[in-house]
Amino acid sequence: MYHSATNNLISLLVDRLRMHAQRWKCISLQLAGGYFPLLFTFTPCNLSSLEYLSINGNAVAFAFPIMPQLNLESAANLKSFSYTGPGPSVEDRIHLRWEDLAELSLEFASHFGGSFVSRQRLVDLARCQNITTCSLGIDRPPPSVVSESITLPCLQTLRVRRVTRFAHAHGMIDPLILPQLQTLEIDASNLVNWNQRWHSRNFSSLLARSGCSLLRLSIQDVDFPNDELVRCLSLSPALTSFRFIPCPRSQNLSDVIRKLDASPRTRGRRRGHVALPQLREITMASSVERYLDSITTMCRSRTGACARAAGVATLQRAEVVFFDLWHDKSEDGLERVVNSLAQWVSENKSENGREGEDEHLLEASVVVDSPYLPVYIDVQ
How confident is the model at residue 163, as a pLDDT?
Answer: 81
> Distance (Å, rounded) from C-alpha 264 to C-alpha 267?
5
Do the bridges between strand 94-95 and strand 133-138 make them parallel or antiparallel, or are there none, so unpaired? unpaired
Sign of the dihedral defined by the CA atoms of residues 152, 197, 109, 161, in that order: negative
What's residue 293's pLDDT? 84
268 and 225 co-located in one domain: no
Question: Residue 98, Cβ neighbours under 10 Å: how many?
Answer: 20
- CATH number where 216 lies: 3.80.10
pLDDT in tens, 269-287: 554 478 999 999 999 999 8
Element (H, E) at 106: strand 103-106
For residue 277, whether the previous peptide bond is cis, meaning omega lies within 30 degrees of 0, is no
Domain boundary among 205, 229, 253: 229
Residue-number span of the structural domain to which 218 is assigned:
28-229
Cα separation, 358 vs 78, in Å, equals 44
Alpha-carbon gap, residue 25 to 46, rounded angstroms = 12
Q: In which band, very low, low, confident or very high, does the pLDDT at 332 lie, cut at 50, 70 and 90?
A: low
- In a domain, residue 193? The reply is yes
Listed residues 159, 194, 229: the one ending a domain? 229
Lowest-pLDDT choice from 201-205, 242-246, 344-348: 344-348
Confidence band of 116 (pLDDT split at 50, 70, 90): very low
DSSP letter (8 states) at residue 248: S
Mean pLDDT of all residues in 145-172 = 88
Asked whether residue 134 falls in the same domain as residue 100, the answer is yes
Q: What is the mean pLDDT of residues 136-152?
A: 79
Contacts of 3 (CB under 8 A, 6+ apart): none
Q: Phi and psi for 369 in degrees, rounded to 5?
A: -105, 115
Residues 164 and 299 in one domain: no
187 domain-assigned: yes
Average pLDDT over residues 301-318: 92
Tell whether 158 and 112 lie within a shared domain. Answer: yes
